[in-house]
Structure 1
Amino acid sequence: MKDAFGTPQSLLVLGGTSEIALATARRLIARRTRTVWLAGRPSPALETAASGLRDLGADVRTVAFDALDSDAHEAALGKVFAEGDIDMVLLAFGVLGDQARDENEPGAAVRVAQTNYTGAVSAGLICAKSLQTQGHGSLVVLSSVAGERARRANFIYGSSKAGLDAFAQGLGDALYGTGVHVMVVRPGFVHSKMTAGLPAAPLATTPEIVATAIETGLRRRSETVWVPGTLRVVMSALRHVPRAVFRRLPV
């Protein structure tokens, strides 16, 4: 169960090598989180991530999980929930893709969509059902401001995040009143391995800043968190720009 300050004592990370997820786990462990499950493809990186969190004093376990293998999701995630209640699930997996390549290789574009959306729908529903069965818990979904309005430069990634965002918002409405809290996190450009080599966008942030926003959102039981908060206003304005004008903007 969460403590009196709303800090989860147990955490399941879907996407166990995500820099944002690991920054969040470190921050929560520094408070009261004691049990952490890292779900991801078995790899040295996953084991290194687990070892690093163990050094902070947490009981950390790993579980094999592949966003693209939805047929195996129920068994993998069921194994975690069978071990005890989970206070917080952080859905943090996703791929950016390569827009230029993906436009010319539809199969690659489909993998972006399957990872960011289809895989998230599968895992999100399974976790939501388990959280509802135990009667409490938070499902935190890492979305993106890219899903607010598709841009020419990354509309494949953006459309997959738009689908994820709509799914998570709807899931939150469906679970309202059940004791399960769904929080959608919309970061802007985050300096990370995934964005290495790309020109930073305005209002760029870091995994640590996103982690702080997630912790604050949990404490407030927020339903939507923008990182940084200024993006709420920026994206509201961009959503209402006429399409003919939007096409000419350098965004």
Structure 2
Amino acid sequence: MSVVAIFGGRSEIGLEIAARLSAGNVVVLASRPGGERPEVAGAERVLHVDFDADDVAEHGAAVGAIEAETGPIDIAVLTFGVLGNQKLAEADSAEVVRIVHTDFTAQASLLTVLANRMRGRGAGTLVAFSSVAGQRVRRPNYVYGSAKAGLDGFASGMADALHGSGVDLVIARPGFVIGRMTEGMSPAPFSSTPDQVAAAVVKRIREGGPVEVWIPWQLRVLCFVARFVPRAIWRRMPR
């Protein structure tokens, strides 16, 4: 029996991943206080935990409390995040700080707490969610994109630091995901659904493979080509 912890336990992708990993396991759904408490079919036990990702000072205590209740976390998936308001961010630095804090600082903090615990045990799997938006940051969403770029770099370096430790860090790089977070926005080329993202991530967890998981795989080629697009053209690219 494994302990699967989803940090961002009400996110669509997180719940899809939990459903795929639930059979016979303990599933921890860690999310902000209040709101719905989703069920996860097939789990041996589902534990709902109040967790404020932005309160980085409490990350260590939060993880410690979970493990005191369930035992060591075997698989930890970080699915919390905000898209933010780009227009507002360009006029208000507080919105910039809010986006970067949740999408980079809080992620890096929690990954560090979890990695240190898993490295001490010599086992565990971590999943961090980057984005193609961070591969070459675009004008229409440069605040969100830059936060994801920072997280991608951090997670890439951490994956190398963890090599040989028994801890597996997976970096998921989905493109546009059709769901609550992007409601009202026109889907971009090679969009995916939470179900498709979860399927790709769980396949990688179970079967192993490269650190990076591109969802869908075609985005890897597109992002490679994007590096060579002249800036004069790139700055006019849509979201």
The TM-score range, normalised by the shorter chain, is: over 0.9
In the TM superposition, what whole-angstrom CA distance separates every residue of 1:18-51 from its partner, at most 9, and x where no partner exists? 110101111122xx35101111111122x1x2xx
Query: Could you tell me which residue of structure 1 aligns to residue 35 of structure 2?
Result: 44
Report the Cα offset of residue 105 of structure 1.
1.5
- 1:79 deviates by 1.2
Tell me which residue corresponds to 1:129.
Answer: 116
Aligned to 1:17: 10
Specify whether residues 167 and 33 from structure 1 end up closer, same or farther in structure 2 by C-alpha distance, changes over 3 A only.
farther
| Whole-angstrom distance in 1 between the partners of 2:44 and 2:103 | 29
Selected match of 2:130 from 143, 146, 149 = 143
Q: Deviations over 1:130-158 (max 9, x none)?
A: 11122111001111110101111100000
Aligned partners of 2:111, 2:206: CA distance in 1, in Å?
21
What is the rounded CA distance, in whole Å, between the counterparts of 1:86 and 1:241 in structure 2?
Answer: 43
Give 1:91-170 correspondences, 5 Å limit.
91-170=78-157
TM-score (norm 2): 0.95
Write out the 4+ residue segments of structure 1 that deviate beyond 2 Å after TM superposition.
Answer: 55-58, 248-251
User: 1:4 is matched with which residue?
Assistant: none
Match of 2:65?
Answer: 79
The Cα shift of 1:245 comes to 2.3
1:203-240 deviation digits (Å, cap 9, x = unpaired): 11000000110011112323110000100001110122
Of 20, 27, 31, which aligns to 1:27? 20
Equivalent residues of 1:81, 1:130 under 8 A apart: no
The amino acid across from 1:244 in the alignment is A
Secondary structure of the equivalent of 2:77?
strand
Of the structure 1 ranges 87-96 and 55-64, higher mean CA displacement relative to structure 2 is found in 55-64
Among 218, 229, 238, the residue aligned to 2:217: 229
1:182 pairs with one of 169, 175, 178? 169
Question: How far apart in 1 are the matches of 2:107 and 2:26?
Answer: 23
Q: Distance in 1 between matches of 2:98 and 2:212?
A: 27
Counterpart of 2:174, as a letter, is: P
One of 188, 191, 202 as aligned partner of 2:189:
202
How far does residue 250 in structure 1 lie from its aligned partner after superposition? 3.4
Q: Give the deviation of 1:243 after TM superposition.
A: 1.3
Tell me what 1:5 maps to. Answer: none
Number of the residue aligned with 1:239: 227
Which blocks of at least 5 consecutive residues in structure 2 are unaligned? none
Deviations 1:109-148 (A, max 9, x none): 1100000101011101000011112211100111111010
**Matching of residue 192 in structure 1 with residue 185 in structure 2:** no
Indicate how the Cα distance of structure 1 residues 134 and 197 shifts in structure 2: closer, same or farther if over 3 A, else same. Answer: same
Q: Is the 8 A contact 1:10 1:33 kept in 2?
A: no
1:64 to 50, 62, 72: 50
CA RMSD of aligned residues (A): 1.3
> Is 1:218 equivalent to 2:205 in the alignment?
yes
Identity within the alignment, %: 43
Number of equivalenced pairs:
237
Distance 1:249 1:61 in 2: 44
**CA separation in 1, counterparts of 2:164 and 2:150?**
24
